[in-house]
Amino acid sequence: MDLKKEILKRRTFAVISHPDAGKTTLTEKLLLFGGAIHVAGAVKSNKIKKTATSDWMEIEKQRGISVATSVMGFDYNDYKINILDTPGHQDFAEDTFRTLTAVDSVIVVVDVAKGVETQTRRLMEVCRMRNTPVMVFVNKLDREGKDPFEILDELEEELQINVRPLSWPIDMGDRFRGVYNIYRNSLDLYKPSKQVVTESVHHDIESPELEEHISADLAGKLRGEVELITEVYPEFNRDEYLAGKLAPVFFGSALNNFGVKELLDCFVEIAPSPRKIEAVERVVEPLEEDFTGFIFKIHANMDPNHRSRLAFVKVCSGKFERNVNYKHVRFNRMMKFSSPTAFMAQKKEILDEAYAGDIVGLPDTGNFKIGDTLTSGEELHFKGLPSFSPEMFKYIENADPLKSKQLQKGVEQLMDEGVAQLFTNQFNGRKIIGTVGQLQFEVIEYRLLHEYGAQCRWQPIQLYKACWIESDDKEQLDDFKKRKYQYMAKDKQGRDVFLAESNYILMMAQQDFKNIRFHFSSEY
């Protein structure tokens, strides 16, 4: 009973957005409502500033901030909220994708002036793959922006999801008067001041008292628009939202703390408690007695003097307890943890127990890889998230002959952490590192030197994509591999990968070898 109650009150989610849309600001306001922080400005953006791209030390410092804020847990009303932060810099997009495997829903922040931007689109693709429930917050209504109907169309089109406004803005920019909260049937008036307290008056949209608060013109326009919404958009249906097919939309201004509490109040009511998760062997239900969980993130270098890492576990079912033996499935070994960390507010503290939905930090010296499963004893494998074909490739070579072992170990561990992807060319045995952005190469080089005492050298390689290939036609597959032997590689799991030099070569290969499937992610 206790277990069920604990689990059902958990809401574990991520706030995602294109940089600058207002993710940090919104997160901070959510924390303020949760009493997790008391002053604005306490949450540092973990954005890696553009100017820092060539200054790895600076990035490291900034990443230090992101560790502190990587998971923020707090209690709100009867709910336990866990917000998972995601790195804003697109070179760390893989990190963000993996974080999305650990959440049960997301809130997408969109800038009313800019609409849907590239990063939002990419992140939503990942949400769609997993049918993650999505709620949208259209931000910065205190500024001029696009017409709200236009924003809705854009959301539907660009994010390929149905939308349903649950609040509606009354004008915007300097004339912004507030929103009509369709979900609660209330008029929420915006008072532009730093100490924003929303004045919320419960009025049916038809009530003539609306005109006591806003001009007759605005009231008329509002009624017309809300009527249009009712005609155009079907009733909000929670099941569709939970299935990831329908996104409720809210409007507001995070900076002015307007519309945020309304978002949060609706969110805790309708957002899912921990969802069931498909493992290779079976579907795991969060309310099962036995603990299961998986590692979705490894954060290294918390303390530069030690090679210390923190493995982040998403508890998928049951209850996790300190000093209890759990099975590390890949090692087939029981392990217990004496100092697991909880993330409450912005502090880390030792926890005694955690429930499905929670994130637990386990100090690690190299036992864990992204995707590892922990259980109470069951042989179970969570699928995690596939790797995607990297965007950039380089050969990695040893620059210090006396340190080849260190280099090998370092590369192996960094890949286990998911810093980048390693492919081994089957023809010449050379190792190729694939990344999303240039920054990752710098991270690898720096960390190999400072954590492993190894030196690497990069050699250019002209590649367009890495594709995982498979076929039921063994003959054709063998023929392909023979013909393309110079371009065949294995990924870390030993799967076959075709390294395509150009889009043209890839297209030709797809045309000539019709029985082979070319995949751009490692899960198929």
Q: Which residues are annotated as a binding site?
A: 17-24, 85-89, 139-142
Residues 6+ apart with CB under 8 A from 359: 12, 71, 73, 82, 84, 102, 312, 313, 314, 315, 343
Contact track, ligand GDP, 134-173, x by CB under 6 A: -----xx-xx------------------------------
Instruction: Give the binding-site size for ligand GDP (rule: CB under 6 A).
Output: 19
Closer to ligand GDP by Cβ: residue 119 or 389? 119
Residue type, 44: K
For residue 43 the two structure tokens come to 């949450």
Q: Could you tell me which stretch among 17-25, 323-331, 469-477, 494-502 binds ligand GDP (CB under 6 A)?
A: 17-25
Long-range contacts of 56-65 (CB under 8 A, 24+ apart): 56/442, 56/443, 56/446, 59/439, 59/442, 59/443, 60/301, 60/446
Which candidate, 498, 429, 509, places its Cα nearest to that of 463? Answer: 498
Give 262 or 364: the residue with its C-beta nearer to ligand GDP.
Answer: 262
User: Nearest approach, Cβ of 158 to ligand GDP (angstroms)?
Assistant: 17
> Could you count the other beta carbons within 10 Å of the beta carbon of residue 387?
25
Q: Shortest approach of ligand GDP to residue 172 CB, angstroms?
A: 11
- To ligand GDP, the closest distance from the beta carbon of 270 in angstroms equals 23
Rounded CA gap, 370 and 311, in Å? 8
Residue 443 parent element (H or E)? helix 438-452
Instruction: Check residue 254 for interaction with ligand GDP (CB under 6 A).
Output: yes
Residues 255-314 that bind ligand GDP (CB under 6 A): 255-256
Task: Tell me whether residue 63 is exposed, middle or buried, using C-beta atoms within 10 angstroms of its C-beta: 0 to 12, 13 to 18, 19 or more.
Answer: buried
Pick 22 or 115: Cβ nearer ligand GDP = 22
Q: How far is the CB of 46 from ligand GDP (least distance, A)?
A: 8
Among residue numbers 81 through 100, which ones bind ligand GDP (CB under 6 A)? 88
**AA identity, residue 195:** Q
Q: Please, are residues 30 and 250 in contact by the beta-carbon 8 Å criterion?
A: no
The residue within the footprint of ligand GDP, chosen from 8, 11, 24, 327 (CB under 6 A), is 24
What is the spatial distance between Cα 176 and Cα 172, in angstroms, rounded to a whole number?
Answer: 4
Distance of closest approach, residue 88 Cβ to ligand GDP, in angstroms: 5
Q: CB-wise, 19 or 64, nearer to ligand GDP? A: 19
Residue 133 Cβ vs ligand GDP, minimum distance, rounded to whole Å: 21
Site string for ligand GDP, 39-58 (x = CB under 6 A): ------x-x-----------
Closest to ligand GDP by CB, 137 vs 355, is: 137
Scan for tokens 């054709």, then name that residue.
476
Residue list, annotated binding site for GTP: 17-24, 85-89, 139-142
Measuring CA to CA, which residue among 354, 328, 356 is closest to residue 343?
354
Q: Which region among 22-30, 211-219, 222-230, 498-506 touches ligand GDP (by CB under 6 A)?
A: 22-30
User: Quick check: 19 binds ligand GDP (CB under 6 A)?
Assistant: yes
Q: 22 or 293, CB closer to ligand GDP?
A: 22
| Identity of the residue, 84 or 380, whose beta carbon is nearer to ligand GDP in the bound complex | 84
SS (H, E, C) 369-404: CCCCEEECCCCCCECCCCCECCCEEEEEEECCHHHH
CB of 42 to ligand GDP, least distance (A): 13
In angstroms, rounded to a whole number, what is the distance separating the alpha carbons of residues 367 and 378?
A: 19
Sign of CA dihedral 239, 240, 244, 248: negative
Nearer residue to ligand GDP within complex by CB, 88 or 244 = 88
CA 239 from chain center: how many Å?
A: 22
Beta strands in 5-47 (DSSP E): 10-17
Least Å distance between CB 89 and ligand GDP? 10
Among 12, 25, 96, 105, binds ligand GDP (CB under 6 A): 25
Nearest approach, Cβ of residue 359 and ligand GDP (Å)? 20
The span from the CA of 448 to the CA of 407, in Å, is 7
Amino acid at 466: A
Among the listed residues 8, 9, 11, 22, the single contact to ligand GDP using CB under 6 A? 22
| Edge-to-edge strands, sheet with 186-189 | 167-170, 178-181, 186-189, 199-202
Give the C-alpha separation, 317 to 369, whole Å.
20
Comparison of 256 and 341: residue with beta carbon closer to ligand GDP: 256
Q: Shortest approach of ligand GDP to residue 23 CB, angstroms?
A: 3
d(C-alpha 207, C-alpha 249), whole Å: 24
Closer to ligand GDP at the Cβ: 26 or 219? 26
Name the residue nearer to ligand GDP (CB basis): 167 or 413: 167
Residues shown for the chain: 524
Distance CA 132, CA 272 (A): 10
- 406 makes contact with ligand GDP (CB under 6 A): no
Residue range at the interface with ligand GDP (CB under 6 A); choices 31-39, 199-207, 253-261, 410-418: 253-261
Region from 14-22, 121-129, 191-199, 380-388 binding ligand GDP, contact rule CB under 6 A:
14-22
Residues that bind ligand GDP (CB under 6 A): 17, 19-25, 45, 47, 88, 139-140, 142-143, 253-256
